[in-house]
Amino acid sequence: MRASPRCGARTRDGGTCRAPAAHGKARCRMHGGARGTGAPRGNGNARTHGLFTGEAIAELRAARVLLDEARKMLGELT
């Protein structure tokens, strides 16, 4: 146990984690060395509300262009 490689992840106090690394990994089970740890591939949560779809982004860009034109016109009037 004492001869096994250590995790090496940084802790909140600035030191390194002293737990042994998982077998064949560079980190311990608490810092991502265990099987099945970490976020799933892709970011499905970002797509649940629809704010980042191509259609929504195009609509925001069109609104921004319209507002810029309105500001420019108001600036010319004053």
Q: How far apart are CA 58 and CA 72, in angstroms?
A: 21
Q: Kindly list the domain boundaries of the chain, sorted by start residue.
A: 1-38, 46-77
- Output the CA torsion sign for 32, 30, 42, 46: negative
What is the reported pLDDT for 39? 66
Segment 14-61, tens digit of pLDDT? 999 999 988 888 888 888 878 776 667 776 766 677 777 889 899 999
Please say if the pLDDT value at position 65 is more than 80: yes
Residue of higher predicted confidence among 29 and 67: 67
Q: Say yes or no to pLDDT of 8 above 90.
A: no
Give dist(CA 66, CA 26) in Å, integer: 53
